[in-house]
């Protein structure tokens, strides 16, 4: 039985799978940081977080029992993946489970901003009736420029085209265009041609302030900017200036460079003064459907790793998806430094002990190797100790088959 700490309220669907295996679940409804997090992780083998909890080197080094981390969201930039590798901690996320929710919000904001709904709503709440078609347009026939054509950007492309929009996209990776979408080889060309620009890039450090004043200067006059991806990629002060001079006619912003840790905390931004800006509190993936899907998906990955050593779709460890064979009694799951001859040395250890190996899989990724060895007979104790004491060892787990 494992002890699991779930922070920041992942959907209760996460509890269902853990509870079926009789794991102990501890829930805290907000993010924890630093020493407070370290204290809460005492005796914990698996940690579930969302986007606010920072799992730093300090935290990982202080928590030797931690085996796996589940990020109940898309991004994993809140986890120090390099240190997780050093300590053999598997990290999982939900790269696809909330894509539809984000896409629908992006399309919703494109329509709302094109029709000037934020301003109309605010005026009517002030008890003033202003009915006018001035400046309001259909999105049909407008050009949507998508920056980042991954799982979210490409799905947005399909729905936008179904709405009658012309779709352009730019991505540094090779992406196949869907439908009538057209790939542009230059971000500048996309910005100059798009009535609405929607950003869907990841939060890697090199993307910090990726979309700044220079990019905004190249946007079509009066265009709309939507950012539902990462708060660090847009220069908020530059956007504020462009909204003030009217060169950008509206914006939909769901993520921010600095976000509160908990509901009810104060929020401030230079964008709050603009009636033509839709501000939402990082809710792109916050639908019941998406959160339920994320809960099942990430928990399923954690459980597969805990019970079988499966690392399929891990963001940091080499991928091994295979389950133990029906005649396996033990699975030795060994995370090690990827050095020449590791497989031969392991086999020599097992052969010397007379262990009966019926299957063995090795996968590598950079400096990390991951090997699972299935044994149909008893596991000699000294072989485990030998692997644990080897210079290549990072983390060794022995999993006994559950019948």
Q: Which residue has the tokens 């890697």?
A: 204
Q: Are 60 and 80 in contact (CB under 8 A)?
A: yes
* Residues with pLDDT less than 50, the chain: 403
Query: Who's near 176: CB < 8 A, 6+ residues apart?
Result: none
Of all helices (H) and strands (E), which one includes residue 297? helix 288-308
Catalytic residue among 189, 259, 337, 397: 259
Partner residues linked to 371 by β-bridges: 334, 362
Cα gap 244→97, rounded to integer Å: 37
* 100 noted as active-site residue: no
Catalytic residue among 166, 282, 331, 401: 282
* 382 noted as active-site residue: no
Cα gap 139→129, rounded to integer Å: 24
Confidence (pTM): 0.84
What confidence tens digit (pLDDT) does each residue in 188-199 have? Answer: 999 999 999 999
* 230 noted as active-site residue: yes
Cα gap 385→382, rounded to integer Å: 5
Structure tokens at 6: 């779930």
What confidence tens digit (pLDDT) does each residue in 265-275 have? Answer: 999 999 999 99
Partner residues linked to 375 by β-bridges: 330, 357
Structure tokens at 127: 């008890």
Q: Hey, is 30 helix, strand or coil? A: coil
Catalytic residue among 100, 230, 336, 401: 230
Partner residues linked to 396 by β-bridges: 334
Q: Which residue has the tokens 């485990």?
A: 384
Q: Are 224 and 249 in contact (CB under 8 A)?
A: yes
Structure tokens at 220: 């079509």
Closest CA to 344 of 360, 366, 330: 360
Cα atoms in the 13 Å half-sphere on the side-chain side of 161: 16
What pLDDT does residue 380 have? 82
Residue 61 region by backbone torsions, left for phi larger than 0, else alpha for psi between -120 and 50, else beta: alpha
What confidence tens digit (pLDDT) does each residue in 54-112 have? Answer: 999 999 999 999 999 999 998 898 999 999 999 999 999 998 889 999 999 999 999 99
């Amino acid at each position: 039985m494992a002890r699991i700490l779930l922070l920041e309220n992942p959907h209760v669907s996460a509890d269902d799978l853990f509870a079926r295996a009789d794991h102990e679940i501890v829930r805290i409804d907000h993010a924890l940081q630093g020493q407070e997090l370290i204290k809460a992780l005492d005796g914990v083998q698996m940690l579930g977080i969302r986007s606010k909890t920072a799992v730093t080197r300090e935290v990982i080094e202080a928590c030797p029992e931690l085996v796996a981390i589940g990020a109940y969201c898309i991004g994993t930039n809140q986890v120090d993946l390099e240190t997780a590798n050093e300590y053999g901690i598997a990290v999982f996320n939900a790269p696809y489970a909330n894509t539809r929710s984000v896409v629908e919000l992006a399309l919703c904001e494109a329509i709302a901003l094109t029709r000037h709904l934020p301003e109309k709503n605010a005026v009517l709440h002030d008890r003033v009736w202003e009915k006018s078609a001035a400046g309001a347009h259909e999105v049909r026939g407008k050009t949507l420029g998508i920056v980042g054509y991954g799982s979210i950007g490409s799905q947005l492309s399909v729905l936008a085209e179904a709405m009658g929009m012309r779709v352009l996209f730019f991505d540094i990776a090779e992406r196949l265009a869907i439908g009538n979408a057209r790939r542009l080889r230059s971000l500048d060309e996309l910005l100059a041609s798009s009535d609405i620009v929607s950003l869907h890039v990841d939060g890697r450090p090199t993307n910090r302030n990726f979309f700044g004043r220079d990019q905004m200067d190249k946007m079509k006059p009066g265009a709309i900017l939507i950012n539902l991806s990462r708060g660090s990629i847009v220069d908020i002060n530059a956007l504020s200036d462009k909204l003030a001079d009217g060169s950008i006619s509206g914006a939909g912003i769901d993520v921010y460079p600095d976000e509160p840790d908990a509901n009810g905390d104060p929020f401030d931004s230079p964008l709050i003064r603009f009636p033509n800006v839709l501000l939402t509190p990082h809710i792109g993936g916050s639908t019941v459907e998406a959160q339920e899907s994320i809960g099942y998906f990430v928990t399923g990955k954690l459980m597969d790793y805990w019970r079988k050593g499966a690392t399929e779709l891990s963001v940091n460890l080499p991928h091994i998806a295979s389950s133990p064979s029906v005649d396996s009694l033990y699975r030795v799951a060994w995370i090690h430094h990827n050095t020449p001859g590791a497989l031969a040395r392991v086999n020599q250890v097992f052969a010397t002990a007379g262990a009966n190996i019926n299957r063995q899989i090795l996968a590598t990724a950079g400096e990390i190797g991951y090997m699972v060895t299935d044994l149909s007979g008893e596991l000699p104790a000294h072989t485990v100790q030998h692997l644990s004491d080897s210079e290549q060892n990072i983390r060794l787990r022995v999993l006994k088959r559950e019948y």
